[in-house]
Amino acid sequence: MAQVGIVGGTGYTGVELLRLLARHPNVDIKVITSRGNAGSRVDEMFPSLRGRLDIAFSEPDLEALADCDLVFFATPNGTAMQMVPELLEAGTRVVDLGADFRLKDLATWSEWYGMEHACPSQVEEAVYGLPELHREAIRGARLVANPGCYPTAVALGWLPLLEQGLIAPESLIADCKSGVSGAGRKAQVHTLLCEANENFKAYGASGHRHLPEIRQTLETVLGREATLVFVPHLVPMTRGMQATLYGRLVEQGVDLQRLYEQRYANEPFVDVLPPGSHPETRTVRGTNLCRVAVHQPQGGETVLVLSVIDNLSKGAASQAVQNMNLMLGLEEAAGLDDIAVLP
């Protein structure tokens, strides 16, 4: 059994990680840390885990974490980079669910996250953890930067078109919607029930932290600069995310449905829906699936891609488990066979 640790297990992505790892056939959760809840049993905070986990939160301790085969960081930005170098030195692999290692350009990272990076050499080493794009590199990685939720939905929606050079890189639009859990578990006025319920709004239209991450992925695939308009929206539901993606086709007559089906034919967690489909967030709730549909309205030059994921799962915790499986030489889909709960 692989011994794993979790740093910061009290947020929504942390408890989602616990839910998945508690039933993973090849994993034993050895350590889970929380400075504010050290000594408290995990199942007291999260009763859904009663009978599944017999463990208490503990103070972060590098020695205990270094005894693990792999450590997840489900922590605020700026936390993982303080501990990762020592864990890597001890031979412990790391998956960071935060943003500390996602952006390769350190000046850009500092601009968006408001601090200097503590370990630039590890940023260079880190592998961006989108398995559908970097699977083989992830297998050999010591450090994986787990992608953000919006970047995952957007990248998987556009990959087939970008890889074949079928859309103009100067006219990309990502219109995205997320459930309230994407804002995290901390108390904030805009996520209170009376504020978020029966309300719909855009935010970050002039700039959002996921913008440079999305652009970096697009430009990695394209090999050149891309111009992107990215607008996120908050919708009154707990979890789920849809990316509605617009691009201008530079070549007509391509069978887009076949392109998508062929690109994702061997991907266990990307489901290309039949022609004319409209994916729904409820069909991926609690799963590692991304469901995608491609449209060419009225046969014109605009291509429209609809991509849905669960922001806490494929957008965070379950993708982190998928990366762990690859890094530890386990079956890639191990522990990730959930079926969405309906209704």
pLDDT-derived band at 72 (thresholds 50, 70, 90) equals: very high
| Token output for 189 | 């006025």
The pLDDT, as a whole number, for residue 141 is 98
Assess whether pLDDT exceeds 90 at residue 42: yes
C-alpha 84/C-alpha 80 separation (Å) is 6
Predicted confidence at residue 162, as pLDDT, reads 97
Chain centroid to Cα 187, Å, comes to 22
pLDDT confidence of residue 184:
87
Which candidate, 154, 142, 165, places its Cα nearest to that of 92?
Answer: 142
Length of the chain: 343
Position 211 scores a pLDDT of 96
pLDDT of residue 256: 98
**And the tokens for 269?**
């967690």
Angstrom CA distances, 100 to 96, 109, 208, stand at: 7, 8, 16
DSSP 168-214: -TTSEEEEEEE-GGGG-SS--GGGSHHHHTT--EE--TT--THHHHH
Q: For 238-251, what is each residue's pLDDT tens digit?
A: 999 999 999 999 99
What's the confidence (pLDDT) of residue 261?
Answer: 98
Angle in degrees, CA 64, 69, 73, rounded to 5: 70
Indicate the DSSP class of residue 110.
Answer: H
CA separation, residue 182 to residues 44, 53, 142, 148, 286 (Å): 23, 25, 27, 10, 14
Q: What integer best gives the mean pLDDT of the chain?
A: 96
Q: Report helix angle 210-222 to 149-163, nearest 10.
A: 20
Active-site residues: which are they? 149
Q: What is the pLDDT of residue 335?
A: 98
The ranges assigned to domains in the chain are: 2-146+316-327, 150-309
What SS3 class is residue 113?
Answer: helix
Q: Which CATH number fits domain 2-146+316-327: 3.30.70.360, 3.20.20.140, 3.40.50.720, 3.40.140.10?
A: 3.40.50.720
Q: Right CATH number for 150-309 from 3.30.365.10, 3.10.105.10, 3.30.360.10, 3.40.50.720?
A: 3.30.360.10
CB-based contact 316:330 (threshold 8 Å): no
pLDDT, residue 343, reads: 87
**64: number of Cβ within 10 Å:** 15
The arithmetic mean of pLDDT across residues 73-100, rounded, is 97
- pLDDT over threshold 90, residue 175: yes
Residue 168 has pLDDT above 90, yes or no: yes
pLDDT value, residue 143 = 98
Residue 185 is predicted with a pLDDT of 87
Residue pLDDT, tens place only, 190-237: 899 999 999 999 999 989 999 999 999 999 999 999 999 999 999 999
CA distance 305 to 303: 7
Q: How confident is the model at residue 186 (pLDDT cuts 50, 70, 90)?
A: confident
pLDDT at position 10, please? 93
Reported as a single tens digit per residue, the pLDDT across 130-153 is 999 999 999 999 999 999 999 999
Domains 2-146+316-327 and 150-309 share a fold: no
